[in-house]
Amino acid sequence: MMKKIFICCCFTFCLAALSFGQKAEEDAIRAIIDAENLAYTTKPVQEVWSNYWLLDDHTRLFLQPLNQQAVNKDKKGLLAMSNEVAGDKRAQIQTSNIKYSITGNVAIVTADYTLSIPEEKQSLVSAHLYLLKKVDGKWLINCATKMQSIVNQ
């Protein structure tokens, strides 16, 4: 009987630890992608790459800016970008529909971002897909697709 109780307790403890571990990784990833999105409104883009991106031969950023042609950047293309603040510092950003698939040190995340500027009557919705990798304990973005479109309020 004691043995059964002991096994049940161990099993429950393992499941709880796994679930807690998954939640901790999700929180860490969420912190990185939220910070990355906010950083565009306050920091020059090269700081965004150096703080939140893993730049290697596989790096890709597919970006569909509002009312412009799409942009396809690899590592070289990102590093060649003019080092300016790309966003508007008045922007308020909200995240929704975030979904994680984490396998070891690799994560696939989808999320929707709503960027609104209180002074303006339109919001921008941006649909994102990320591939992140955990390097030296820190999650970094390796590939991303971002598509922007307008929502009238």
Q: Are 132 and 139 in contact (CB under 8 A)?
A: yes
The SS3 call for residue 74 is coil
**Segment near another protein (CB under 8 A), from 25-33, 38-46, 65-73, 77-85?**
65-73
Interface with another protein (CB under 8 A), residue from 15, 16, 31, 70: 70
Give which of 138, 136, 113 is closest to 125, Cα–Cα: 113
**Segment near another protein (CB under 8 A), from 20-28, 40-48, 55-63, 75-83?**
55-63
**Residue 106 contacts another protein per CB under 8 A:** yes
Site string for another protein, 74-103 (x = CB under 8 A): -----------------------x-x-x-x
Query: Which is closer to another protein, CB of 3 or CB of 69?
Result: 69
Query: Which is closer to another protein, CB of 93 or CB of 125?
Result: 125
Give which of 40, 46, 1 is closest to 128, Cα–Cα: 40
Helix, strand, coil distribution of the chain in percent, nearest 5: 35, 40, 25
Q: How far are the Cα atoms of 31, 53, 81, 84 from residue 138, in angstroms, in the given order?
A: 11, 10, 25, 25
**Residue 145 contacts another protein per CB under 8 A:** yes
Report the number of secondary-structure helices (H) and strands (E) in the chain: 3, 6
Interface contacts to another protein, rule CB under 8 A: 58, 60, 62, 64, 67, 69-70, 72, 97, 99, 101, 103-104, 106, 108, 110, 112, 125, 127, 129, 131, 142-143, 145, 147-149
